[in-house]
Chains A and B, each alone.
Chain A
Amino acid sequence: MSEQPSTAEFAEEVEKYLSAHYSLKKKEAKQQFVWGEGSDEVRVFQEPDPEAEEDALPAIRAWRKGLWDAGLGWITGPTEFGGRGLSGAHQRTFEQIARRYDVPGDSALTIGLGMIAPTILKHGTDQQKNKYLRGMYSGELFACQLFSEPGAGSDLASVSTKAVRDGDNWVLNGQKVWTSGAHLSDFGEIICKTSDAGRHQNLTAFLIDMHAPGVEVRPLRQMTGGAAFNEVFLNDVVVPDTDRLAEEGEGWKVAITTLMNERNAMGNSSFGGAGILSTERIAELVRHSGLADDPVVRQEFAALQVRLRVARYTNQVFAAKAKAGESPGPVASINKIALSTNMAELGRFVADVLGPRIAANTGEWGTFAWTSVLLGAPGYRLGGGTDEILKNMVAQRVLGLPRAS
């Protein structure tokens, strides 16, 4: 095995690859917010129109394929499964450099690379790791997470989708819901009930081919009006036993791995490129509403800034702690709770500033578009574990309190 490159050498390698294939981001176009210019969309959930979404796929696949072939597709992954075997510092080096380039990026792959890949790495067989992890990091395979059901939300362990053994195969029947990206996915991680054993003992995880006969994906329209999620119906879907993830009856353990990664991914996100937390955009809204000199609005504006900035500072402090090798502690879960609270407060503030312009679309730029925040905020309190479930978890695991009664 060859010597590991230093982060400086690695940075040079990354720079060389990215500059050969992508152009640098145009600086001013990204930073400057100019009132009335361009789209006034305020994006809370990824709700692209299906055609635009399909159109974006080839570029994302090509981005991943290129990285994979250049040895940059899975920087921290074990070498025996095609990874580069480098450190988290190398990964961060890559991310820092990639941010300067106009690349498709991995934001559409958060569930696959951020949640499902770590789960397969932890629980999968070598054969599964070779097949799925290579496929995911090289852009050939997109993945989704099939956990929630109409009857199993916060109480995920009560899923009723059944998997019944049939020789070397399993036959799956049931319904999943709130499945992001199911319509674009090649496979999914699914939790099924496989026995009548006790709670948490009766579940098994599988990797299911989303193109298999009997899998039906329907878009699920949420209260914002858009459709960021799907319902997935399973009707006698055959899954080979080689695609069972971990042992029979260990599905709960597998699900917990994925959920922990989900909270990390959500808690650490700061709305990515959605731009809704841009101070300047909120300040401009206040100015254009003629309220910049209103002392009450100024107070409320500052109170909102305190919330948003404290969350940001805390993220930075915990990133520093993680880098220094200190345990990140409870930050992922409490950040996620803060995120949903802040989102609701942001909605309240902009609605107060907009007044009747939040009630009706007057056609004025940058006004009614904010409805997506107040319509989307409730979803943030529910997704990735409701605020209440997360508080139960933190109470038990961080504060060491007994299980809630």
Chain B
Amino acid sequence: MVAQSALTDNDEQRELRDAVRKLLKDKAPLEKIRAGADEPDGPRFDRALWGNLAEMGLLALAVPEKYDGLGQTMVETSVVFEELGRGLYFGPFLATAGLAVPALLGSADEAAIADYLPGIASGETIATVAVTEEDGRFDTASTATTAEADGDGWKLTGTKMVVLDGADADLLLVTARSGEDVSLFAVAGDASGLTRTRLESLDLARSLARVELNGTPARLVGQSGAAPALIAEVLDHALVAVAAEQAGGAQVCLDMSVEYAKTRKQFDKVIGSYQAVAHKLVDMLQQVEFSKASARYAAAAIAEGDAEAPVAARVAAAYCGEAFRKVTVETVQAHGGIGFTWEHDTHLYYRRAWSSQHLFAGLADHHAAIADRIGL
């Protein structure tokens, strides 16, 4: 049983939530995302804002105190992600805090942790985890990138697809195969033989890259052959973070739609007075409330090491992904023609919803995992 106290914000969590919300409201208007998309080289994240996140301690949140972190749990992390999802934060927070931190901690490699985590906690190091290859899966079943021993270190060769913030990361944690063993390796952003290509992204507030490694020097992180289990665990963490983002984004879409339905008049009446519109909005409210609750529950279950955590993580991922997608689809519909314009915010969330539902694993994957984990 997840403790009741973990399921609702305490005072510190409420303050954290308010502070993140205010920061994004002040410094990250959605207009910037639209403008960035029209830049010749595509959008770039705001480094000054990244510095603000670091100053607030958000990058240190889930880092244990002995590595200069704040030692908070998945619940606090989830609060931050929900707010970042609301504001469509554009920057390498999900890659760094949602992927790299759990990967390093999960590796239990004390030396690597001591070398990398303090830099991450201070905001100095932008990090990511590069797993996906040709088959599009965030797992190690068919990892083709190879690792070859080279003196004290290793050399990696292969191609990673859709790497989150791969073009901006100072530290890339890369899965690679050496014989039967798939392991995790650390690659520096400026390493030799590393080619990073920023890809056109459906989500205008996410940066995705192709990462090519050609005899690129690397350091083994954790035990050789430990990557399959480690990446599965990292995936669960990342999915719960994304679920919180999705819940936050869905809330904004609902609020926007309700507001519009109260003011937009057609046939001399505000459209929210028509049942066809009102009932749609209530369906969206249900999806938003259930998303927020299930994302929170999953985060709390992970934080407490509850037996339900593995199932709850995938239940939240499945539900929040689908709910956010449906809510954004109906948000465009509720706004009518104006909602289909470039100038409106609807498409920014709509793009985020579709992209984030498929970034790491899709609905069918979640369902398969749930059936397995329940023991059917």
Contact = CB atoms under 8 A, between A and B. Distances in A.
Given A306-B315, A392-B275, A283 B376 contact: yes
B7 A391 contact: no
A330 B287 CA distance: 12
A302 B7 contact: no
Nearest to B289: A334
B294 A401 contact: no
B289 A405 contact: no
Interface in A385-405: 388, 391-392, 394-395, 398-405
Contacts of A309: 294, 311-312, 315
Interface string A304-319: 0110011101101111
B150 to A, nearest CB: 42
B318 A306 contact: yes
Contacts of A317: 7-8, 292-293, 296-297
B290 A305 contact: no
A400 B290 contact: no
B258 A338 contact: no
Interface residues of A, number: 46
Nearest to B2: A316
A303 B285 contact: no
B206 interface: no
A401 B281 contact: yes
Contacts of A311: 290
Interface in A268-299: 279, 283, 286-287, 292, 295, 298-299
B112 to A, nearest CB: 35
Interface in A200-254: none
Contacts of A292: 376
- The binding surface of chain A is classed by DSSP as helix
A320 B289 contact: no
Contact of B285 (A286, A299, A318, A398): A398
A330 B286 CA distance: 9
Interface string B288-331: 01101110111000000000000110011011000000000000
A127 to B, nearest CB: 40
Nearest to A283: B376
Nearest to B301: A313
A329 interface: yes
B15 to A, nearest CB: 15
B285 A334 contact: yes
Contact of B274 (A298, A329, A404): A404
B315 A404 contact: no
B313 to A, nearest CB: 11
A314 B274 CA distance: 29
Given A283-B375, A305-B315, A316-B7, A338 B272 contact: no
17 contacts: A283-B375, A298-B376, A302-B368, A303-B318, A310-B315, A310-B319, A313-B315, A316-B2, A317-B7, A324-B4, A334-B282, A334-B285, A334-B289, A388-B275, A388-B279, A391-B282, A401-B273
Interface of B: 2, 4-5, 7-8, 258, 261-262, 269-270, 272-275, 278-279, 281-283, 285-286, 289-290, 292-294, 296-298, 311-312, 315-316, 318-319, 364, 366-371, 374-376
